[in-house]
Amino acid sequence: MVVVMAVQAHLYPENLSLSLPMYGLQDCMSIPAPFDPDFCHPPQQMMVPPHLDPNAQNFSSSSSSMCDGFLSMALSKSLDAQLEALHLMRRKEEDLARATKKTLELEACLKKVEMESESWERLAKANEAMALDLSNAVAQVKKGIIMVSNAGEDAESLCVSSCDDKQEGKEDSSKKIACPCKHYNSRTSCVLFLPCRHLCSCMSCEAFLDSCPVCKAAKEASMKVFWV
């Protein structure tokens, strides 16, 4: 009974002034005992160890599963990031390989163009040299033609002058000879050709002529003429 009253006095201090005079316990409650929190719990809960408590085990398992989930999620994200980085790296390597191949192709094309340009340049120089040689040859030919033309003109003028001199000599001789021989043109004609009756030959030439020197008619007969 005393224990029950002490518990009630501890739990309900406001009733202490009412209960103490009734039971004469002022001397017993002069020094209150310290409050023990475990005193309010049932004896069964106070006696169960923490590792055997079902609620503690459930909390521990849920905490472990949450940690495992976080770790799995973090690992998955890290793996995805690594895979994406690897994919980007491979794509960059492929782009670099294509760029390198394109650069090599462009360098080969540029080298080919340079070689063709050098070839065309050499061909152009050869054509220029050939054109210069042809121009020089044409100039020499023109010069030779001009020289030949001048020589021809000189020869023609010489021939004309010679012919003129001969013609003048013939005219002079014809003036001297009244009727010169048409064949030899130096003696006097004294033979008459028949039937054309041209007086056109001297005695020396008549024996060698078968036709008239003037009309080219056939000589059938001849007659000597005496000048008086």
Tell me, yes or no, whether 36 lies in a domain. yes
pTM (predicted TM-score)? 0.30
> Are 190 and 226 a contacting pair, CB within 8 Å?
yes
The whole-number pLDDT of residue 115 equals 93
Mind giving me the DSSP string for 8-24? Answer: HHHH-GGGHHHHHHHHT
Number of domain units in the chain: 2
CATH number of the domain where residue 194 is located: 3.30.40.10
Mean pLDDT in runs of 10 for the chain (228 residues)? Answer: 50 49 44 48 47 53 70 85 92 92 92 92 90 81 66 49 50 50 68 82 80 85 74
Q: Spell out the long-range contacts of 8-14 with Cβ–Cβ below 8 A and sequence spacing 24 or more.
A: 10/35
Query: Tokens 């020589």 map to which residue?
Result: 151
Cα gap 23→101, rounded to integer Å: 109
Cα gap 35→29, rounded to integer Å: 14
Tell me, yes or no, whether 194 lies in a domain. yes
Instruction: Determine how many CB atoms are found less than 10 A away from the CB of residue 201.
Output: 26
The whole-number pLDDT of residue 145 equals 65
| Domain extent at residue 16 | 2-47
